[in-house]
Structure 1
Amino acid sequence: MPAGPAPRIQVTGRARAGKTTVRHALSLISAEETSAVDRPGRPDPVLDADLYIYVLPGDSNAADRRILATLPPDRTLVVLNKADSIGIRWADAAESAETHSAALQLTVHPVIATLAARTRSGTLTEADLHTLHRHRDHPDPAFTLAPDLFTSPSIATDTAARESLLSRWPLYGISCALTALHRDPTLPAVTLLQLLHSASGIDPLHTDLHHRYEQAATRLNP
């Protein structure tokens, strides 16, 4: 990469879209997180970086489209965050990302930033694994569709353990881990963590960001 000033990255989007979580999931320590673009009565944040990461909280609205129309497509990545809330399968989130990409004329990546951030910073503890193994063969997979179903006392006597697991891992990750362990109970923790990281969708986004970053660096340091 050429020597010289590093490209500036701004992470922006609506309030509660998950900007901070996306930044942590990508390990963008030096990236600038802007104020929300949809603050009533407040001016839009100043967007003057070399690269932009725009975070959508599962869908776009008029404020998103207004701001995105002003950003250069070759320097903008859109994150369709909270992809686990879109439909019931990852394919639903991928299809939604493609629809948004066509409508916005921008690259859109479906991501579950909470899961990606957790796999980057945390590990599956022995207690986590014990709880997961205890329920890997649960007869009704629908018990992972909602937090109250997963932590229901009617499932088993380990309610506190399930609540503890849910406090550290998003429900989508727990569901993926249970499915993986049901198919192969011998999976070690490190492999299971890698599977969860892949399931977050963060790697394609990270690869695309790295490519755009190198292009931005070349523009700054020809």
Structure 2
Amino acid sequence: MPVGRSPRIQVTGRARAGKTTLRHALSLLTAEETRPVDQRGQPCPVLDADLLLYVLPGTADRADRRLLATLPPNRTLVVLNKADAIGTRWSDAATMAENLRSDLGFATFPVVAVLAARTRSGLLTDTDLHTLHRHRDRADPPLTLSHDLFTASNLASDPEARQALLDRWDLYGVSCALTALRHDPALGARALLQILHCASGIDRLHHEIHRRYTAIADPAPPKS
């Protein structure tokens, strides 16, 4: 990298993998988002940045694997986005990330970028908290299995409030918030927001990007 130039970061992956959401979740607004690598009639984008973030929407297909095989592991991080849709618990996503790391040879990070982006840009309102507390002690396990179950009109008299909560925090965020409040009903908005941010998995990825960015921008002098 030429002296005096800031490291370039590219965010790439298939269409609808969540590239734009990830950029906002990481506050990487100067990073270059490529066109989708699977865009019909178009060649694969040139991936030549100092640091590449390859976003997978839950899993790697054959085309992903072929393309990843051409990328340098020392300049590439794989982001397993939409980790909340993998299996039934976070450990399922973590296991898949570890399997991808073993199979592909890239550091791989499970994240829920949409939740991370919302925790960076939003706050839990009093209305959010009131709605969460109204349903905190419900014993029915299917409550947060789907959007339809959570917003069912026969569940309680506040379907509009439940829908608004989903619109703001999505199902995974709502589920994490309810779990946290069941353990500690006294949690305030700020503490609960931090819990949701941690539950997104974004911090490990952010720290690794910062570490690599710093190493690229200020490489250690060669040993004499």
In the superposition, the TM-score normalised over structure 2's length comes to 0.95
Report SS of the residue matched to 1:162. helix
d(CA) in 2 for partners of 1:20, 1:204 = 19
Question: Displacement of 1:204 after TM fit?
Answer: 0.3
Question: Does 2:11 align with 1:19?
Answer: no
Summarize deviations over 1:15-56 as a string: whole Å, max 9, x none.
Answer: 000000011100001000000001122100111111000000
Report SS of the residue matched to 1:206. helix
Match of 1:34 in 2: 34
Question: Does 2:200 align with 1:207?
Answer: no
d(CA) in 1 for partners of 2:4, 2:198 = 33
Q: Highest relative contact order (Cα 8 Å, sep 6+), 1 or 2?
A: 1
Match of 2:122 in 1: 122
d(CA) in 2 for partners of 1:221, 1:55 = 32
Match of 2:81 in 1: 81
Report SS of the residue matched to 1:170. helix
Question: Does 2:112 align with 1:112?
Answer: yes
**Seq. identity, %:** 65
d(CA) in 1 for partners of 2:62, 2:219 = 32
Contact kept, 8 Å, 1:115 with 1:173, in 2: the verdict is: yes
User: CA 1:11 to 1:220, structure 2 compared with 1: closer, same or farther past 3 Å?
Assistant: farther
Match of 2:98 in 1: 98
1:136-175 to structure 2, matched below 5 A, reads 136-175=136-175
Match of 2:53 in 1: 53
d(CA) in 2 for partners of 1:128, 1:221 = 52
Amino acid at match of 1:20: T
d(CA) in 2 for partners of 1:48, 1:220 = 22
Question: Displacement of 1:4 after TM fit?
Answer: 2.1
Question: Displacement of 1:184 after TM fit?
Answer: 0.9
Amino acid at match of 1:139: A
Question: Displacement of 1:96 after TM fit?
Answer: 0.6
User: CA 1:23 to 1:129, structure 2 compared with 1: closer, same or farther past 3 Å?
Assistant: same
Question: Displacement of 1:220 after TM fit?
Answer: 11
Report SS of the residue matched to 2:218. helix
Aligned length, in residue pairs: 220
User: CA 1:221 to 1:11, structure 2 compared with 1: closer, same or farther past 3 Å?
Assistant: farther
Report SS of the residue matched to 2:23. helix
1:178-193 to structure 2, matched below 5 A, reads 178-193=178-193
Contact kept, 8 Å, 1:5 with 1:220, in 2: the verdict is: no
In the superposition, the TM-score normalised over structure 1's length comes to 0.96
Report SS of the residue matched to 1:55. strand
Q: CA RMSD in A?
A: 1.5
Question: Does 2:7 align with 1:7?
Answer: yes
User: CA 1:189 to 1:160, structure 2 compared with 1: closer, same or farther past 3 Å?
Assistant: same
d(CA) in 1 for partners of 2:47, 2:92 = 31
Unpaired segments ≥5 residues, structure 1: none
